[in-house]
A and B are shown apart, each in its own frame.
Chain A
Amino acid sequence: MGTTVLAVTLGVAFGLVASACTAGVDGGAGGQGAAGGVVGSSSAPKELRLAIGGESEDGYDPTLGWGRYGSPLFQSTLLKRDADLKIVNDLATKHTVSPDGLVWTVDIRTDAKFSDGTPVTAADVAYTFSTASKSGGLTDVTGLSQAVAVDNDTVELRLKRPQSTFVNRLISLGIVPKHAHGKEYARKPIGSGPFKLVQWDEGQQLIVQRNDSYYGTRPAFERIVFTFTGEDASLAAAKAGQVSMAAVPSSLAKTSVPKMRLVPVKSVDNRGLMFPYQPDTGKKTAAGLPIGNNVTADKAIRQAINQVVDRQALVDGVLEGYGSPATGPVDGMPWFEPSSAIQGNDAGKAKELLESAGWKDANGVRERAGVKAAFTLLYPAGDTTRQGLALAVADMVKPIGIQITTKGVSWDVIDKRLHADAVLFGWGSQDPTELYNLYSSGSAGVGYWNPGYYANPVVQKNLDAAMSATDQDEATKYWKAAQRDADGNGFGPSGDAAWAWLVNLQHTYYVSDCLDIGKPQIEPHGHGWPITAGITGWRWTC
C-alpha cells in the first residue's frame, strides 16, 4: 500500500513540476538550435569557443576603458603593439610629435569603415579622445587638453604637458563613431574592428561575428564565443571538450586535458618587495600615517637582500615553475635595462655588503649602533602566492643575519603601514607610465605609487627626460638609464635597490592542439583578455 502512495504522489509531483514550474521559464522562439561549429572536428570550425574569463561588465565602450587589454575586437586603435611589443600602425598611417612634445599629429587611413558603413574620420578620432578624457572610466586620458580634427584624415591631440607614454593611449583606445556614441553604445558597440557584436548574454557569453568590411587581416573564424565561466568551470569545460581555449590559474595547470596543450605565456605580472626608502624621523603623511624605516632605509640591507634571494628557487618552489625570475618591474619589455639586474644569488657577497656597512652579527641577527637588522614584511592575507613568496624570502635572508617578520594582513592594514613596513606588491604593465609612477618622487605616497618615498635626483632626471621625450626610442633610452645609467646610478638592484623584485608570473592557458595562436605578447598584470591581442592571426591547423 505504501508503494501505491509513493507512486501516486510522485506522479502528481512530476506532473506539477512539468506544468506549473515551467511558467517561470521564458520560452524562446524556435526549436533546438544548430550547435554551430564543432570543436575538434577534422575541418576548420567556423566557430571558436574560448573560456578566458574577463567579462567587461560595464560594456564595450572604449571611452570607459574597454579594450585596454588585448584587442578591443569591435573597435580599432590608432596604433598597436606587435608580438615583440614594437609599435606599429593600425588605423593611423603616420604620427608625429611636435618638438615641445605638446602636439601629437596623427594621419589616419581613409579606407576604414565602421560596421554601419560610415567611414572613420578624424572627427571620430578627436571625439573619442576628448570624450575619454572626461569620461571617469578606466582609461586615463587626463593628459589631453584638446583633440582637434584638422581635416578629414588628420587629427591633432594637444596635451597639457609632454608625455611620451601618451602613445599607449593611441595603442589602447578604440575609436568610436561620433554619430552613434550614446548611452546605449556600451551594449551595442559599433566600430571599425575585426569583429561585430552579435549577442551578449551578460554573465554568460559574448558572441562576436567577423566584420567582413574590416581593413586589416581577416580573422580565420567566422564567429568567436567567449564564455564567462569561473576558473573551475573553465577547466571543466576544457575537459569536456566544449572550448578550444581555457585560462586557468597555474595551480590548476597540473592536470592533463585531452587534445589540449598547456601554453604558459610570459608576463610582466610581477611580484616584488617594496622597501620603505626613508629613515624613520617621525615624519608623517598628511593623513597622519608614519613614514620611514631605519633598517630598510640602508642601501646595504636592500642590496644584500637583492643579492641573497634565490629567484629561480622562488619560481620553482612557489610558482611551481610557471614564472621567471624578476630583477626589475619591466623585465623583458623593450625598455628593460639588463645591466641593472644582478645575476644569480650570492650569500657571500651579501654578507660582505653588510659587514662593510657596519652590520655586525649578534646571535644570528645583525646589529648596527643598537639597531637590529629586522623589519616587518606585509602581504595581503588571502593571496597564497604572495604568502609563499614572503615566507620563502624570510627564510632566504635568515642565514645572512637579516630577520624578516612576515604578516598576512588586510589591504586596510597595508594602506596604513605601507610607508613604514616592507610590502609584497604586484605590478606589471605594457605602459612605462607605471615605471615612472613607482619611482618618481612626485608620486611618493599617491595611492600605491612609490609607497616607500623613493627619491634620487639623478634617477628623477632620467625619468622626467623619458616622460618628456618626443621620440619613443629616445624615451626608451632614458627609461633604461633610470634603471642603471653609465655611472652606475639607478633604482635597479645594482644601484639604489629600491625594491627587491622577485618573480614574473606566467599566465597559463589550455589551448586546443588544433589551434595555432602564433607568438603571444608578454602579458600585463590584469584581468582582461591580453591573449586576444593577436586574435586576427589565430589559425586552425587540423
Chain B
Amino acid sequence: MALDLLSTAAPRSAGPPPVADRAAESRASHWARAIAARLLRLLLLLTAVAAASFALMAASPVDPVSAYVGADLAAIGPEQRAQIAERWGLDDPPLQRFGTWLSHIVRGDLGQSHAFNQPVADVIANKFLTSLALMAVAWCFSGIIGFTLGLVAGVRRGRWADRVITWWAYTLSSAPTFWVGLLLLYAFSVSLQWTPICCAVPVGSVAGEVGLLDRLHHLLLPALTLSLVGIAPVVLHTRQAVAVAMASDYIAFARAQGERTLGLVVHRVLRNAAGPALLLQFSSLGELFGGSVLAEQVFSYPGLGAATTTAALGQDVPLLLAIALFTTVFVYTGNQLGDLLHGWIDPRTRRLEAAP
C-alpha cells in the first residue's frame, strides 16, 4: 500500500470500479507522475539554489585571488596574479562564468576545486564519506536518545524525571554547538584524556593500522556534540505526543482492562509518538549539516563541514556551489523520506492527504 502515499498529485478517478489490471496500471502511472513531480520540484529547487548561491558569491567583496594568495601578497606580482585568475577562469564576466559552470554541471562535470587543487567531485566524495560516519552516528544518537527521553518524560509527566529531562532539553537547545564541543573537548580529552583531541584516526597511524574501534573512539565526542543539536526538539515533541496519547480515552480503556504501563507504551503509545519524532528527525538533516560545520571545526574532524569552511574562506566558487547543491539534495531527500515514513507509521496523515 506504499503506493498510495504518493497519490497526492492526482485524485483517483471517479466512475465504475476499475478491473484489476487497470487499477495496477493507474497506480503505476500515479507512481511515475508522483516521482516526476518530486523530481521536478527538486530540479527547480536546485536551479534556484545554484543561482542564488552564485549571485551571493559574485557579490561578495572577497577577491578569490587575494584570498588564495593570502600572506604571500608580498611575493606575488601582478603577472602571477593574472596567471592565477586565468587558471581559474576568473577573467570572464560573472554571467558567462555561471553559464559555463552550468553547462559543465549538465554534462556531469562539477569542475576543479581551487582550494584543494582536485576535481570537486573527488573532494566531495572523500569528505562526505567521513562526514557521513559522523552525521549518521550523531543522527542515530539524537534520534534514539531524544525519542527515549521524550518517551520517559511523556510517560512520567510532571514527575521529577520529566522535569529533569525537560530542563535538560531546554538547556541544550539554547547552548551553541561549538561551545558545548569545546567544553566536552576540555573535559574528556584534556582533563580526563579519555578521548582523542582531534581527527578521525589516531595520530601517526597509517591507514592499514586503523581499526573500527579506533574510528569509533575518534567519532564519539564529535558525534555526541553534533547529536546535541537534534536532541532537544525530538525530546519535546515526543514528550508532547506521548502525553496526548497517555491522556486519551483508548489508553484509559486499556488501563481499565488491566494493561500495565510498559504494555501501554509498547503497544499503544510508541506508534503515535514515533510519527512526529521521525518527521522531525528527517527534517533535521539540514541542521545536522550546519552543526557538522561547527563540530568538525572544533574537533579538527576532516569532513564536508570543514571543507565548506575552507571553500568559503578561500572563495572557492566551484566547490562551494557544488556543496550547496549537494546539501540541497541531501536535505530534500531527508524531508521526502520523513514525509513517506510519517505517512507509513501514522496512516491518518496519509488518508487526510489522499482525500479529494
Same complex for A and B? Answer: yes
Stretch at the interface among B28-36, B166-174, B258-266: B258-266
The chain B residue with its CB closest to the CB of A241 is B193
Q: How far is the CA of A29 from the CA of B189 in the complex (A)?
A: 26
Stretch at the interface among A20-28, A315-323, A382-390, A534-542: A20-28
Query: Contact at A27–B202, with CB atoms within 8 Å?
Result: no
The answer to whether the Cβ of B152 comes within 8 Å of any Cβ in the partner chain is yes
Find the residue from B77, B216, B260, B301 having the highest chain A CB count within 10 A.
B77
Question: Tally of A-B residue pairs with Cβ under 8 A?
Answer: 236
Stretch at the interface among A72-80, A110-118, A202-210: A202-210
Query: Contact at B300–A25, with CB atoms within 8 Å?
Result: no
The answer to whether the Cβ of A34 comes within 8 Å of any Cβ in the partner chain is yes
Interface string of A45-78 (1 = CB under 8 A from B): 0010100000001110100110010000000000
SS of A interface (majority): loop
Q: How far is the CB of A380 from chain B (nearest CB, A)?
A: 13
- Given A26-B215, A138-B68, do A5 and B152 touch, yes or no (CB 8 Å)? yes
The answer to whether the Cβ of A444 comes within 8 Å of any Cβ in the partner chain is no
The answer to whether the Cβ of A135 comes within 8 Å of any Cβ in the partner chain is yes
Contacts of A17 in B (CB 8 A): 137, 140-141, 144
Contacts of A199 in B (CB 8 A): 206-207
Question: When the two chains form the complex, which single residue of A13, A32, A136, A187 contacts B214, counting CB atoms closer than 8 Å?
Answer: A32
The chain A residue with its CB closest to the CB of B74 is A434
Question: When the two chains form the complex, which single residue of B129, B204, B215, B219 contacts A223, counting CB atoms closer than 8 Å?
Answer: B204
- Given A136-B83, A204-B199, do A427 and B74 touch, yes or no (CB 8 Å)? yes
Query: Contact at A9–B208, with CB atoms within 8 Å?
Result: no
Contacts of B145 in A (CB 8 A): 13
Q: How far is the CA of A410 from the CA of B206 in the complex (A)?
A: 43
Query: Contact at B137–A31, with CB atoms within 8 Å?
Result: no
Q: How far is the CA of A428 from the CA of B214 in the complex (A)?
A: 42
Q: How far is the CA of A412 from the CA of B159 in the complex (A)?
A: 57
Query: Contact at A28–B71, with CB atoms within 8 Å?
Result: no
Stretch at the interface among A226-234, A398-406, A476-484, A495-503: A226-234
Q: How far is the CA of A478 from the CA of B71 in the complex (A)?
A: 26
The answer to whether the Cβ of A239 comes within 8 Å of any Cβ in the partner chain is yes
- Given A17-B144, A30-B211, A203-B302, do A6 and B74 touch, yes or no (CB 8 Å)? no
The answer to whether the Cβ of B7 comes within 8 Å of any Cβ in the partner chain is no
Contacts of A47 in B (CB 8 A): 204
Query: Contact at A28–B204, with CB atoms within 8 Å?
Result: no
- Given A26-B129, A33-B209, A138-B69, do A201 and B144 touch, yes or no (CB 8 Å)? no
Query: Contact at B212–A25, with CB atoms within 8 Å?
Result: yes
- Given A29-B208, A36-B205, A233-B198, do A58 and B117 touch, yes or no (CB 8 Å)? yes
The answer to whether the Cβ of B87 comes within 8 Å of any Cβ in the partner chain is yes
Contacts of A225 in B (CB 8 A): 203-204
The answer to whether the Cβ of A140 comes within 8 Å of any Cβ in the partner chain is yes
The answer to whether the Cβ of A142 comes within 8 Å of any Cβ in the partner chain is yes
Q: How far is the CA of A401 from the CA of B302 in the complex (A)?
A: 54
Q: How far is the CB of B324 from chain A (nearest CB, A)?
A: 20
Query: Contact at B199–A25, with CB atoms within 8 Å?
Result: no
Query: Contact at B72–A65, with CB atoms within 8 Å?
Result: yes
Contacts of A34 in B (CB 8 A): 209
Query: Contact at B215–A204, with CB atoms within 8 Å?
Result: no
Query: Contact at B61–A412, with CB atoms within 8 Å?
Result: yes
Question: When the two chains form the complex, which single residue of A25, A207, A237 contacts B137, counting CB atoms closer than 8 Å?
Answer: A25
Q: How far is the CA of A338 from the CA of B227 in the complex (A)?
A: 59
Contacts of B115 in A (CB 8 A): 57-58
Q: How far is the CA of A13 from the CA of B147 in the complex (A)?
A: 9
The answer to whether the Cβ of B320 comes within 8 Å of any Cβ in the partner chain is no
Contacts of A138 in B (CB 8 A): 68-69, 72, 76
Query: Contact at A28–B211, with CB atoms within 8 Å?
Result: yes
The answer to whether the Cβ of B240 comes within 8 Å of any Cβ in the partner chain is no
Query: Contact at A9–B148, with CB atoms within 8 Å?
Result: yes
Question: When the two chains form the complex, which single residue of B75, B201, B203, B205 contacts A140, counting CB atoms closer than 8 Å?
Answer: B75
Contacts of A137 in B (CB 8 A): 84
The answer to whether the Cβ of A446 comes within 8 Å of any Cβ in the partner chain is yes
Query: Contact at B75–A433, with CB atoms within 8 Å?
Result: yes
The chain A residue with its CB closest to the CB of B76 is A140
Q: How far is the CA of A229 from the CA of B209 in the complex (A)?
A: 21
The answer to whether the Cβ of B40 comes within 8 Å of any Cβ in the partner chain is no
The answer to whether the Cβ of B186 comes within 8 Å of any Cβ in the partner chain is yes
Contacts of B204 in A (CB 8 A): 35-37, 47, 49, 205, 207, 223, 225
Query: Contact at A525–B152, with CB atoms within 8 Å?
Result: no
The answer to whether the Cβ of B5 comes within 8 Å of any Cβ in the partner chain is no
Q: How far is the CA of A6 from the CA of B147 in the complex (A)?
A: 11
Query: Contact at B151–A33, with CB atoms within 8 Å?
Result: no
The answer to whether the Cβ of A236 comes within 8 Å of any Cβ in the partner chain is yes
Q: How far is the CB of B287 from chain A (nearest CB, A)?
A: 18
The answer to whether the Cβ of A186 comes within 8 Å of any Cβ in the partner chain is yes
Query: Contact at A142–B77, with CB atoms within 8 Å?
Result: yes
Among A166-184, those with CB < 8 Å from B are none
Q: How far is the CA of A340 from the CA of B125 in the complex (A)?
A: 56
22 contacts between A and B (CB under 8 A): A5-B261, A12-B144, A17-B144, A24-B132, A26-B129, A26-B133, A26-B215, A28-B207, A28-B215, A29-B208, A30-B209, A35-B202, A59-B117, A68-B75, A134-B83, A137-B84, A186-B117, A201-B199, A201-B201, A232-B182, A449-B74, A527-B70
Shortest 7 CB-CB distances between A and B: which pairs?
A33-B209, A203-B302, A24-B136, A136-B87, A58-B117, A136-B83, A21-B140
Interface residues of A (CB under 8 A from B): 1-2, 4-6, 8-10, 12-13, 16-17, 20-37, 47, 49, 57-59, 61, 64-65, 68, 134-140, 142, 186-187, 198-199, 201-205, 207, 223, 225, 227-230, 232-233, 236-237, 239-240, 242-243, 410, 412, 427-429, 431, 433-434, 437-438, 446-449, 525-527
Interface residues of B (CB under 8 A from A): 61, 68-81, 83-88, 114-118, 126-127, 129, 132-133, 135-137, 140-141, 144-145, 148, 151-152, 155-156, 159, 161, 182, 185-186, 189-190, 193, 197-216, 219, 260-262, 265, 297-303, 306-307, 310
Interface contacts beyond A21-B140, A49-B204, A138-B76: sample of 9 additional A-B pairs, CB < 8 Å, sorted by A: A16-B140, A27-B212, A135-B83, A136-B88, A142-B80, A225-B204, A229-B300, A236-B197, A431-B75
